[in-house]
Amino acid sequence: MNNNLYFALNIQNDKDLKTFAKAAGIKLARLKYYAEEMIYPHKSDLDKILHFTGFSELEFQLKTGFLNTKLKQLLASKSADIAKLLNVGNQCKSTEEHFKPVFTTQLGELYQTDSIKLMKSLPKESMDLIFADPPFNLDKSYESGINDKLSKQAYLDWTEEWVLGCVDLLKEGGSLFIWNLPVWNTYISEILNKYLTFRHWIAVDIKYRLPIKNKLYPSHYSLLYYIKGDKPSTYNGERRPLEVCRHCGGEIRDYGGYKDKLNPLGINLTDVWHDIPPVRHSKYKTRSSNELPLKLLERIISMASNEGDTVFDPFGGSGTTYITSEILRRKWIGCEIGPTDTIQERFNGIDFHQEVISRIQKEKNVPFSEETRRKRIQNKHWLPDTLGEKQKS
């Protein structure tokens, strides 16, 4: 019963929950909904809770942590008195632990430990780029054996701790990317908006679940992009090839008389990414759990860092961030609480990953890929270097 609402109402077990619901005149299912989904009680139920407990609404808000703007302003005006009451200044600081890497490369260090503990031991404001892909709390089985089915309250409490750890590690001008389901990134945005500058909510079009009855089909992951300070230290813009028919190579969008005005490097990258395929083929997959595609990390690392910069990823997984950083000549620091052997083995095949990334890089900052150019020539479609000839004729 680790929950703010249950704590405020002194509910310690299911028996207490049923007793309170009956005595207060609130449906049991509705009370569970407020607690488990962390929803502020609706007016009619709130009145019943306040009447039964004798709390004022202000006291109830303080007990449950539902603080609106007016209440926050009131607390701020009394901050000195509250600090004295809580004796904040006399709280002891925890002793930092020291860790040794279990695997090193020319550019990187991999640690096998809890990510929050490792973050506390690393120098503050030392990372140029941080990418985080935490567990999604979907009750999946991970090699580490972690509990992936926490209560909403427990998951968000843990999330806030590691997110604030990332904020502390980020340099001024550094970039933070967080990959998660949209539902969780709405909460993470609420945390980050207090400390960093929002750049983009990137929608990566990958269908991650089966259709759900009475809901829209979930078909994208959320990639949050924040920076520390008012502008990024590094931003290397990327352009993408024009969208074409995979059969004939003809462009899908009609550019009419503006073809000659298109940028010779391609189309601006938008905040909706349709070209990141999931890793499902055994040729590319290195573990049974979900694995991030090289293309995603190549894009992020190339966009938000330069050679020699330091990249940090607190949730190692299959090690995609680390091997991509190594290939792109970035220093990197990684952490994985579970087994690290698959990450280490992946570096034995780094030449294969180098070839994949080379192909990825050849297909960006160009209007058409080489394969598309051949199709367009075969089917007599225009190319940037033939536009002038057509206009003359």
Per-residue pLDDT tens for 53-81? Answer: 999 999 999 999 999 999 999 999 999 99
pLDDT digits (tens, 9 = 90+) for 107-133: 999 999 999 999 999 999 999 999 999
Which stretch of 5-19, 259-273, 300-314 has the lowest confidence by average pLDDT?
A: 259-273
* Beta pairing, strands 170-180 & 127-132: parallel
Contacts of 388 (CB under 8 A, 6+ apart): 260
* Per-residue pLDDT at 290 exceeds 70: no
* Beta pairing, strands 170-180 & 221-227: antiparallel
User: How far is the C-alpha of 81 from the C-alpha of 78, rounded, in Å?
Assistant: 6
Q: What pLDDT score was predicted for residue 139?
A: 79
Under the banding of pLDDT at 50, 70 and 90, the label for residue 389 is low
Q: How far, in whole angstroms, is CA 122 from its chain's centroid?
A: 21
51, exposed or middle or buried, with CB in 10 Å at 0-12, 13-18, 19+?
exposed
Could you tell me the two tokens for 256?
């009419």
Query: What 3-state DSSP class applies to 7?
Result: helix
- Do 251 and 381 meet the contact criterion of CB atoms below 8 Å apart? yes
Q: What pLDDT score was predicted for residue 372?
A: 93
- Do 102 and 110 meet the contact criterion of CB atoms below 8 Å apart? yes
Which stretch of 130-134, 204-208, 294-298 has the lowest confidence by average pLDDT?
A: 204-208
pLDDT digits (tens, 9 = 90+) for 350-367: 999 999 999 999 999 999
User: How far is the C-alpha of 5 from the C-alpha of 34, rounded, in Å?
Assistant: 8
Average pLDDT over residues 236-247: 92
| DSSP state at residue 230 | S
pLDDT digits (tens, 9 = 90+) for 164-191: 999 999 999 999 999 999 999 999 999 9
- Could you give the C-alpha distances from 368 to 244, 257, 283, 358, in angstroms and in order? 9, 19, 26, 16
Q: What pLDDT score was predicted for residue 353?
A: 95
Rounded CA Rg of the chain: 26
Under the banding of pLDDT at 50, 70 and 90, the label for residue 271 is very high
Under the banding of pLDDT at 50, 70 and 90, the label for residue 288 is very low
Q: What pLDDT score was predicted for residue 393?
A: 46
Q: What pLDDT score was predicted for residue 93?
A: 57
Predicted structure pTM score: 0.90
- Write down the mean pLDDT value for the chain: 91
Average pLDDT over residues 133-137: 95
